[in-house]
Structure 1
Amino acid sequence: MVEFWCSLVLLVLLIFFSGSYFWLRKQYSYFEDHRIPYLSTSVWSPLGHLRQLLFLRISFADLFRNIYADPKLDDDAKVVGFFIFQTPALMIRDPELIRLILIKNFNSFLNRYEAAAGTDNDAMGSLTLPLAKYHNWRDSRQCMSTLFASGPMKQRMYPLMLKVANDLEDYLEKRVTVGGLTLPLSEMCQLYTTDLTGTLFYSLDVGGLRSGHSQLRQITKELFSPNIQKVFHFMAIFFLPTWTKVLGAKVFTEDYANFMKHLVKNPHLKHQGDLIDQLAKMKQNRPPTHYCQHEDFIASQAGIILLAGFETSSSLLAFTLYELAKQTNLQERLRHELHQAFAPDFSYLSYETLVNLPYLKMVCLEALRLYPAAAFINRECTVDSNQNGFSLKPHLDFVVPPGMPAYISILGLQRDKKYWPEPDRFDPERFSSDSLANILPMTYIPFGAGPHGCIGSRLGLLQLKMGLAHILRLYRVETCDQTVSKIEFNAKTFMLEAKDEIYLRFVRDAP
């Protein structure tokens, strides 16, 4: 009898593993059947090309860059197929196809692939601008975009940003002695970013740079700090969007969600022209059944704005200072421009002056090439299921089926030697007035492109310029024994973040 049951168990296991093998083999033959270049994966693994990512051994940015730049690919391959678990996905490598998907045929790729669990299961997540589906996304985008227009940025935001810039200078003055001081960049840059976010969007005087501590920074850092549950939720939202409801995945932790709910309802804050004020006006002008009338609508947008800018903006400032510290000739050229702009009696620059400083602009654009605000983006084919899909002819003999995700590795694209000679070298001259005409369209899209492009791109660039201007006008940054020789990206975060702390030495100019 024992032998019988053992034999039966072995037979069941054999059938199960054989069935799984042949089923996965069929799934993974998708691109071979359609004669599309693709990256092979183990038939024995149900994870597709996500194994290293799921085990936190590679960053999102590096994963998609590696797929884009796989050495086995032909240089002229316009797309490459890969697998998200068993779901076929495309990596778009051709600038014209990128333009087709992001701009020209936007109506066929209306949504991002990732998704939250819906308002009944994760209202805070599903209402956010990046995860809202098109019919909801369009209204929110139109409402929030008025905040980032040049008029409000110049008239309302810029004076508030100058106060934070002064706090940044005071932060360094309290710490840097005559002989200089080695500092870790993450704390300073994160305090600067969260102070700006709180001031501009919530009318909240955060004061992190003044006190050296910020609750806004702390609550955001805790959200980004990985644990098994957060990783599980995050991976489900990004790679199993149709399963988020079943899996109970949530974008925000309960602590973060509650913090944002209390923040937007704080009766002591006077919201005039900020994000909360803008969204409240939107609610007043929409019918009671409109999705923006949900009680968590304002808190959801406030929460995602902080997350979207927290790591990208703070890391970008740190990365730029790091590159300038390694090339003192570039740093001195920029500091010379800043000294002339500030002049002896100026403690700040006008909006027009800061925006138009030519070498500062070149430095920032090159920093965004090497360290794009969005390391990768994706779009889901939203052509009606009654149709076959979206044809890529005449560029490629392939029809993208409804629901298929198409990915663009902005990091891979902007470090592709085909478009950027010596792509890993920091060289602001790529963006000189004489060189701009040589940049192939759609090979430089650090904030994405098209209607789904980053809503805060102009503000992100402005706060990078302001941070650099108010640091480098008084201080020289230098590498030291603790400075990493090469930036590696953190595998435990979604955004571009250095794996190791970046240390630089700050030296104050002689009076």
Structure 2
Amino acid sequence: MLFLIWFVMAVAALVLYFRQIHSRYSKHDIKHLKTSESLRSMAKLILRINHFTDDLQRFYDNFPDERFIGSYEFLTPKIMIKDLDLVKRITIKDFEYFLDHRVFIDEKLDPFFGRNLFSLKGQEWKDMRSTLSPAFTSSKIRLMVPFMVEVGDQMIQALKAKIKDSDVDYIDIESKDLATKYANDVIASCAFGLKVNSHIDEDNEFYQKGREATNLKYTQMLRFFCFICFPKLMAKLKFTLFTEKMTSFFKNLVLNTMRNREEHNIIRPDMIHLLMEAKKGKLKYDDKTAQDTDAGFATVEESSVGKKVIDRVWSDSDLIAQAILFFLAGFETVSSAMAFALHELAINPDVQEKLVQEIKENEIKNGGKFDYNSIQNMKYMDMVVSEVLRLWPPAIATDRICNKDYNLGKANNKSTEDYIIRKGEGVTIPTWTIHRDPKFFPNPTKFDPERFSEENKRNIHPFSYMPFGLGPRNCIGSRFALCEVKVMLYQLLQHMKVTPCEKTCIPTKLSTESFNVRIKGGHWIRLKIRS
């Protein structure tokens, strides 16, 4: 009987605790998902019934008149920001209140993830941003274009050989796989100084490690959800995001490359060299980089945070962490943008032919050569890439953690009091749904590069378009990513005609089998040598 009484009291206390936590939004008249709805949505994701973007879109659309809306991740309250003026305040004006991303990886257990630029917090993040920013200016990226072109030549040769060996004059390929191999070889060359050809040798260790790290299988998805909902428990159980074998591979790769270059005085204008310069304190902004040029409409500008000169020595582990981050970002997000670009060009032949015509004109104008400057001057290319990043943003949302209590204002016009978000609580800025809001982009699901024409792009609300984030904590590699995507499309369309095939998913629908943004059934296209 005593045990039964204690059990009932414990259950009652737990229920009251949950009710108190989950009644917070109701007390402040903030529209929100009920606990049962949140749990149901999470269950559908885990059971692969819905994709994360489905729930994000439904959540966003169900509350049209709200400036922000509430949700819970198990016991953790989280606010989704809808009002663009509030987005501006959080990411720029009052940036210091929302300086950090939420990080669910313990840096002591997994330093190569917990110590990268995305995960670092506060002053350490500012110092690392200042250290790395000079590595991502246009003056540095332009030196890497020849490496990208070399990788593109390998890709074209491999594709032409496969078409020649086929019984027909075309091949059907999975373009995400094609783009991933290209992105892998570019990051191997531009970041690590390695020459690999994943189109010929799919078993090379560099490519296999990338697939292992970025292909979120079902068990990895479950682990990822556990990291989000129970970070302290996962830390106590000493779970890590990457395997020991994978971290050892990158550790040895970076340290051995650095050691070899120092011993033989090898200088190659890639990321490893720039990291070595950063460690020595020799990587600084100069007059040339201060006047940095855009790589397109989607380029994000470096803030004053990244342009400060610092005097700080970083450990080898810190540098390895940044190298791994470059690899993962280059492997997954850039290849995703490429794959969706090829998909849209296949099902929109008028757009493809207009882009091909611009490529031909550029060939004639520059005598068959192209470099960083010429490719950035291709206006229609930039329109196409900008629209791909609007419709299919590589990061579907971005987050910030509040580091001191902050007044978000009233949730809607009928609210009677302001809402104070507390220190340690998080906000989400839903890139995916803002990019698809008809208030900002009419007929939002249509692929229409003309949105970004000279006449139209000035009408785009500056905070409605954020493929690389906003404010000082934006993506440091936007110039590199945009350049890589454009070089790949240029070379491929120069030699290949892209069309749909029997496996092409029309209309486009996302797969629920992966946490990544993937097309159902795969990104299938047909390639034929252009006459």
The verdict on a shared fold, with TM-score over 0.5 as the criterion, is yes
Shift of 1:66: 3.2
Map residues 50-449 of structure 1 onto 2, 5 A cutoff: 50-69=42-61, 71=62, 73=63, 75-119=64-108, 121-154=109-142, 156-177=143-164, 179-226=169-216, 230-267=220-257, 270=266, 272-285=268-281, 293-343=314-364, 346-383=367-404, 389-393=405-409, 397-449=418-470
Aligned sequence identity (%): 28
Shift of 1:392: 2.1
Match of 1:35 in 2: 29
CA–CA distance in 1 between the matches of 2:365 and 2:170? 22
Matched-pair contact (CA < 8 Å) for 1:49–1:82: no
Uncovered stretches (5+) of structure 2, i.e. residues with no partner: 283-310, 413-417
CA–CA distance in 2 between the matches of 1:114 and 1:179? 50
Cα distance change, pair 134–490 in 1 and its aligned pair in 2 (3 A): farther
CA–CA distance in 2 between the matches of 1:404 and 1:141? 24
1:48-105, CA deviations, whole angstroms, 9 ceiling, x for partnerless residues? 8533334454444444333223x2x1x2211010001121110000111111111111
One-letter code of the match for 2:119? Answer: L
Range 85-94 or range 244-253, more displaced = 244-253
Range 445-454 or range 389-398, more displaced = 389-398
Matched-pair contact (CA < 8 Å) for 2:503–2:521: no
CA–CA distance in 2 between the matches of 1:25 and 1:229? 31
Shift of 1:464: 1.0
Residue 457 in structure 1 maps to residue 478 in structure 2: yes
RMSD value, Cα:
2.6
1:394-433, CA deviations, whole angstroms, 9 ceiling, x for partnerless residues? 7872111111100011001101112111111100010011
Cα distance change, pair 394–68 in 1 and its aligned pair in 2 (3 A): closer
CA–CA distance in 2 between the matches of 1:144 and 1:498? 34
Match of 2:291 in 1: none
1:418-461, CA deviations, whole angstroms, 9 ceiling, x for partnerless residues? 21111111000100111012111200001101111111111111
Shift of 1:14: 4.5
Matched-pair contact (CA < 8 Å) for 1:128–1:304: yes
1:222-260, CA deviations, whole angstroms, 9 ceiling, x for partnerless residues? 123446764454334444445553242323221210110
One-letter code of the match for 2:239? Answer: A
Matched-pair contact (CA < 8 Å) for 1:321–1:477: yes
CA–CA distance in 1 between the matches of 2:450 and 2:527? 25
Shift of 1:10: 6.1
CA–CA distance in 1 between the matches of 2:366 and 2:87? 48
TM-score norm. by structure 2 comes to 0.85
Matched-pair contact (CA < 8 Å) for 2:403–2:423: yes
One-letter code of the match for 2:501? Answer: C
Matched-pair contact (CA < 8 Å) for 2:499–2:527: yes
Shift of 1:358: 1.1
Matched-pair contact (CA < 8 Å) for 1:143–1:278: no
Range 100-109 or range 34-43, more displaced = 34-43
CA–CA distance in 2 between the matches of 1:61 and 1:199? 33
CA–CA distance in 2 between the matches of 1:448 and 1:238? 21
One-letter code of the match for 1:116? Answer: I
One-letter code of the match for 2:456? Answer: S
One-letter code of the match for 2:77? Answer: P
SS of equivalent residue, structure 1 residue 379: strand
TM-score norm. by structure 1 comes to 0.88
One-letter code of the match for 2:70? Answer: G
CA–CA distance in 2 between the matches of 1:225 and 1:166? 26
Uncovered stretches (5+) of structure 1, i.e. residues with no partner: 384-388
One-letter code of the match for 2:147? Answer: L
Matched-pair contact (CA < 8 Å) for 1:61–1:411: yes
Matched-pair contact (CA < 8 Å) for 1:203–1:271: no
1:343-365, CA deviations, whole angstroms, 9 ceiling, x for partnerless residues? 39954423222111111110000
CA–CA distance in 2 between the matches of 1:382 and 1:202? 36
SS of equivalent residue, structure 1 residue 473: helix
1:5-35, CA deviations, whole angstroms, 9 ceiling, x for partnerless residues? xxx7766655444443333222211101111
